[in-house]
Amino acid sequence: MSEKPWTPGPYKSSGNAVFAQNDDGTDRVFAMVQPGFLRADGGATDAEETIRTAYLFAAADELYDELEVRLAQTRCGCGHTACKRCEADAETERVLAKARGEEQG
Whether residue 102 is predicted with pLDDT greater than 60 in this model: the reply is yes
For 40-61, write each residue's pLDDT tens digit: 999 998 999 999 999 999 999 9
**49 vs 56: CA distance, rounded Å:** 11
Whether residue 2 is predicted with pLDDT greater than 80 in this model: the reply is no
Which amino acid belongs to residue 79? G
**CB-based burial of residue 58 (10 Å sphere; 0-12 exposed, 13-18 middle, 19+ buried)?**
buried
Q: What is the pLDDT of residue 64?
A: 96
Band of the pLDDT at 103, cuts 50, 70, 90? confident
